[in-house]
Structure 1
Amino acid sequence: MTDLPSDDQLTRSGLAPEGRGRVLLIACGALAREVLALIGRNGWDHLDLHCLPAILHNRPEKIAPAVEAAVQARGAGYDRVFVVYADCGTGGDLARTCERLGVGMVEGPHCYAFYEGVDAFAARGEVTSFYLTDFLVRQFDAFVWQPLGLDRHPDLRDMYFGNYETLVYQAQTDDEALTELARRHAERLGLEFERRATGYGELEGALARA
């Protein structure tokens, strides 16, 4: 697969014809591959994608302001704007922002839930599981290992992960190399490993409704 542009700013624009039915998707950069795959698979050429930096997840208080700025900067000329984020640690702030702006968003607390199915995820109640998606398997060092300082202080591992038992890899694709990489991440964290083939979960339905 050809690598996508940087997460820092990914925009898929100009693909839909002028006129009714054009929809702007403002999405987390961690979902870029998946959203583009669904657009291509379903022929949704009326959807234009603009991604915000995935690293915002490390500062969730910045997500709602960033989404609002993107809606204001890019929403003109579209019939609808849809936000491809779940709550993602904003404590309801993103939902309140979307309601005020009159735009829809993905339901659920985070992407782990909507990949697995929000109700199914809640029913599991897995408080001792640490989750990775395809994106996080690829970007493990940049989004987990380094931000926690484990590259400099590996002795902190048990302090961060001592209460976890299992690393659950929610696989969007059937990729043996990614699965093996996820298994190695579990070993680095001292956790058991489980792979779940979730595919795109409820993301596809959310985009279809958009």
Structure 2
Amino acid sequence: MIDDDALTRDGLAAAGEGRVLVLACGALAHEILAIKALNALDHLDLQCLPAILHNHPDRIAPAVEAAIAEQTGRYARIFVAYADCGTGGELQACCARLGVEMIAGPHCYAFFDGIERFAARDEIDAFYLTDFLARQFDAFVTRPLGLDRHPQLRDTYFRHYSKLVYLSQTEDAALLARAQDAAAALDLAFEHRPTGYGDLASSLKGL
């Protein structure tokens, strides 16, 4: 399980010429490590910021900037594995000012599905889950919204949604069942859309 209370690191001891630091959202840790292993991207090191920052998107850009400052000079290149993620352009402005690259797109749902394909769907009535959110639904949706204590709030929060779309990165029957349970708990229609790693994989392989 990802530790969302602290920074997690993967192989930061031997930074040197040609090494790339991937500074990522903790919600992407499993996927990035899988892509790294599948493609033998041994020159990539991973450092994750807490996924719970998504509940406070105004804190993402400052946290990323602090992490970049901490690693400046230790890597040939730093890549930020976040999309905009609700920062209203602040993260992109931060990365541009610091001269580091980041993933294009509004959020992980878009780059998993493919940015152009996601935009073309124009699904304003869809609530999305990824593998991470299916796994952590209670921690990131149920409890923060108070639905465990006040279930009647469900209809207030989700009255404008008609379906839950599960964008799966892997074939996992247990996660599929969790996503279906989440849709039932929110009283939404369920749709499963296998995406694999989408643009995240091509972005990392391009490094």
TM-score, length-scaled by structure 1: 0.95
- 2:48: which partner in 1? 51
AA matched with 1:184: D
Deviates more, 1:7-16 or 1:66-75: 7-16
Identity of aligned residues (%): 59
Displacement of 1:76 in angstroms is: 2.0
- Is structure 2 residue 150 aligned with structure 1 residue 153? yes
82, 89, 93: which one pairs with 1:92? 89
- Is structure 2 residue 202 aligned with structure 1 residue 208? no
Displacement of 1:161 in angstroms is: 0.5
- 1:121: which partner in 2? 118
DSSP 3-state at the match of 2:88: coil
CA RMSD of aligned residues (A): 1.2
Where structure 2 has 5 or more consecutive residues not aligned to the other structure, the ranges are none
Displacement of 1:7 in angstroms is: 3.0
- 2:61: which partner in 1? 64
Displacement of 1:10 in angstroms is: 1.4
1:102-141 correspondence runs (5 A): 102-141=99-138
Displacement of 1:67 in angstroms is: 0.1
- 2:76: which partner in 1? 79
Contact 1:24-1:75 at 8 Å conserved across structures: no
- Is structure 2 residue 170 aligned with structure 1 residue 173? yes
**Aligned residue pairs: how many?**
206
Answer 1 or 2: higher relative contact order, Cα 8 Å, separation at least 6.
Answer: 2
Contact 1:171-1:197 at 8 Å conserved across structures: yes
- 1:13: which partner in 2? 11
- For residues 34-84 of structure 1, the C-alpha deviation after alignment (integer angstroms, 9 at most, x for no partner) is 000011111111100000000000000000000000000023220000000
DSSP 3-state at the match of 1:202: helix
Give the direction of change, closer, same or farther, for the CA distance of 1:15–1:44 in structure 2 (3 Å limit): farther
Contact 2:170-2:194 at 8 Å conserved across structures: yes
